Amino acid sequence: MSAEQMWDRRFAETGWPTDPDPFLVELAGALPPGRGLDLGSGPGRNSLWLAAKGWDMTLLDASRVGLDQAAAAAAAMGVTIATVHADLTGWRPEAADADLVIVANIHPGPEALAAILSQASRALRAGGHLYVTGHHVASLGRHGPPDPDRLLTDERLRGALPPELRIEVLETRERHADHSAGGDERDTAVVAWATRHPAPDGAP
């Protein structure tokens, strides 16, 4: 089964969280609306929240089911989003014009994550922000993929972030588990918030 088929099935069969990531709300809530890009968006919990605040959001995901769910939710909310059906590992940004790029709960492994974050950084305009979060390795067996090499630590995420970014937040935090049956299960996550440096004078 391909990754696209797996996520199509998961989104079709499993109710997905609709509230935005609380750490994103904390870090991006005060930003003025701009252009946003949500990589691996799924049904769009974060993008829908931003679109309701006036952001021009583009969602990219390998799952057509997830994107269709996001589009339906946006229509019900009366907001507009754009969707791109594409494999994240092969995606390349068209222009450096995003004010915010989100990479939330994507666990492809160290080398692939570094490549994705490099492309995410290229999509940012100078002064734009990158938000990254994912399951900490301490969550192994409870949340996230079963491969410990695909889970995060502060050091692993720091090593995957490209050098043109100024890291403002990078830390391990506790959060409510998204799929907790009782609603009170905890999850350990790594969170990063970084800003793209302005290009040197004369640089593209």
pLDDT digits (tens, 9 = 90+) for 165-182: 999 999 999 887 665 444
Please write the tens of the pLDDT for every residue from 99-116: 999 999 998 888 899 999
DSSP string across 86-141: --GGG---S-S-EEEEEEES----HHHHHHHHHHHHHHEEEEEEEEEEEEBGGGTT
Share of the chain above pLDDT 70, in %: 91
> What value does the mean pLDDT take over residues 62-82?
97
Type of residue at 153: T
Token digits of residue 133: 């979060």
Query: What's the fold here for domain 27-77+96-196?
Result: Rossmann fold (3.40.50)
Tell me the per-residue pLDDT of 142-162, one tens digit each, with 9 for 90 and over.
766 777 888 999 999 999 999
Nearest to 161 by CA among 113, 126, 105, 122: 113
Using the predicted structure, report yes or no on whether residue 197 has a pLDDT greater than 90: no
pTM: 0.91
Q: Given this model, what pLDDT does residue 137 score?
A: 81
pLDDT more than 90, % of the chain: 66
Look at residue 122 in the predicted model and tell me its pLDDT: 95
Instruction: Check if the beta carbon of residue 43 is closer than 8 Å to that of residue 69.
Output: yes
Q: State yes or no: pLDDT of 90 exceeds 90.
A: no
3-class DSSP assignment, residue 152? strand
* Measured distance CA(150)–CA(146) in Å, rounded: 8
∠ CA 193-23-84 to the nearest 5 degrees?
75
**For residues 74 and 57, is the Cβ–Cβ distance under 8 A?**
no
> Domain-by-domain residue ranges, the chain?
27-77+96-196
Contacts of 162 (CB under 8 A, 6+ apart): 114, 117, 118, 121
13-54 per-position pLDDT tens digit: 888 889 999 999 999 999 999 999 999 999 999 999 999 999
pLDDT at 138: 81
